[in-house]
Amino acid sequence: MNHEKTLMTEGPIAPILIRFALPLFFGNLFQQLYNAVDSLVVGNYCGDAALAAVSSSGSLCHLLIGFFQGVFMGASVIISRLYGAREDEEAQKAAHVTVFFSLCAGVLLSVLGVLFTPTILTWMGTPENVMPNSVAYFRVWCSGMLGLVLYNTTNGIFQAFGDSRHPLYFLLISALTNVVLDLLFVAVFDWGVTGAALATIIGQALSALLGLAYLMSGRFVIQIRLNKIRPDGPLLKEIFHLGLPSGVQNSAIAIANLVVQSNINAFGDAAMAGSGSYFKIEGFAFLPITCLTMAMTTFVGQNIGAKRIDRVKRGAKLGTGMIVVLSELVGVVFFLAAPYLIGLFSSTPEVIAFGVRHARVTSLFFCLLGFSHASAAILRGAGKTVTPMLVMMSVWCVFRIAYITVVVALFHDITFVYTAYPVTWTISSVLYLITLLRGHWLPQGASQGGAAIGGTVQSKTPGTGR
């Protein structure tokens, strides 16, 4: 593969971000199909109680995988910087270390998930009539955790080198496989939630194997070799230095969302199914924004590696503006179309009412959620992973839990549970804005006080910066 095709250090910024984000969008669209198809098939063939079981497992899935995804993010930042600095051998070494870590993490997560599923679901206050299906679904899902972790690893390696197309191809194949198997296992074989979970882990394993096979083929910028997949102390230390804050942040947010889910569970099966359907739709609705933020992290990482600080700042400003506008447009559409979208998952009026209420409370504030994610992506790409961790843990975790605890005690109304999201998005956006404007996220000596996003700084390397 030609290096110039994957470098993001030259050329017009907006087209580069869009070209990188589009394949990510379609790839993540198919990724979202995994759980969405599970919910659609289970909801239509197994009933609302089974749908509630699948829906309530989402927060628990994010808790287990979130920490390691954050650590992998640190690895991706390191690889993108090395590649931006044209240190290909070191980038290849970092990729091998990342694969080694992912294999260990996948096995560990599978064991923990299978062993502790009933305990965690009990802590979440899962209703008795939903518990058997929840345990069955999540235990099967956990048994295939290695495939999910390895997929995220190979995907992160591709993205660090600026390649967002190949993950799309592999995920398309596996997503279609998942759809076919979901219908076969649930609708034909009548295996219920167990069949839905089995279809998911088979699809995830397929995407992971396809990605790893391509990285080993010799047709990519680097080549993964089995005999080179081994630990490296200094690199692992650097990966954890950059990735640990993001991992802790993801886990903390997941814990907070478990608290939110447990409060939703207290309102019964219909609330669980309705809000679970909302989260599935939100996952789809927010995909374009998520993909642009991933492009921002790679862009910032590569350009800091190439010492193109002026370009980093212009890209941060432009990318943030694109994300905020797109987020609000998506939110308005979601607000208007909520009854029809939630109705895809269930025809029960009470379930639809809960899902629509959730959407109407949160969707018009998507611009704030987009700004927070864009800001976190910029800071992570710059290697400043501690700041997003502190903001997310203090606001999206501690404050969100405290807020819900107080308001639910005062007003036993699920609407107040939903308001925890826009309230915390607003606070985090203010904190991120202050951080970006102060400019301390840039490499030392890159800014001279002033507005870091809006100003310009001379690059340390020649070039137009366009």
Average pLDDT over every residue of 302-321:
88
Higher pLDDT, 442 or 114: 114
With beta carbons less than 8 A apart as the criterion, state whether 293 and 377 touch: yes
With beta carbons less than 8 A apart as the criterion, state whether 1 and 163 touch: yes
Q: How many CB atoms lie within 10 A of CB 19?
A: 16
Q: How high is the pLDDT of residue 57?
A: 64
> Which amino acid, one-letter code, is at 393?
M
Nearest CA among 166, 145, 178 for reference residue 210: 166
With beta carbons less than 8 A apart as the criterion, state whether 159 and 298 touch: yes
Nearest CA among 291, 290, 315 for reference residue 301: 315
> Which amino acid, one-letter code, is at 134?
S
pLDDT band at 433 (very low <50, low <70, confident <90, very high): very high
Q: How high is the pLDDT of residue 333?
A: 93
Residue 212 has pLDDT above 90, yes or no: yes
Average pLDDT over every residue of 188-212:
90
Nearest CA among 87, 18, 77 for reference residue 302: 77
Q: How many CB atoms lie within 10 A of CB 114?
A: 15
Exposed/middle/buried for residue 312 (C-beta within 10 Å: 0-12, 13-18, 19+): buried
Residue 167 has pLDDT above 50, yes or no: yes
Query: Model pTM?
Result: 0.68
With beta carbons less than 8 A apart as the criterion, state whether 166 and 156 touch: no
Give the pLDDT confidence of 216-243 residue by residue, as tens digits: 998 888 889 989 998 888 888 888 887 7
Distance CA 385, CA 377 (A): 9
Give the pLDDT confidence of 2-38 residue by residue, as tens digits: 443 457 778 888 888 888 888 878 777 766 666 567 7
> Which amino acid, one-letter code, is at 212?
L
Higher pLDDT, 139 or 269: 139
pLDDT band at 281 (very low <50, low <70, confident <90, very high): confident
Distances (CA, A) of 350 to 283, 343, 454: 22, 11, 48
With beta carbons less than 8 A apart as the criterion, state whether 359 and 281 touch: yes
Give the pLDDT confidence of 82-106 residue by residue, as tens digits: 887 788 888 889 899 999 988 998 8
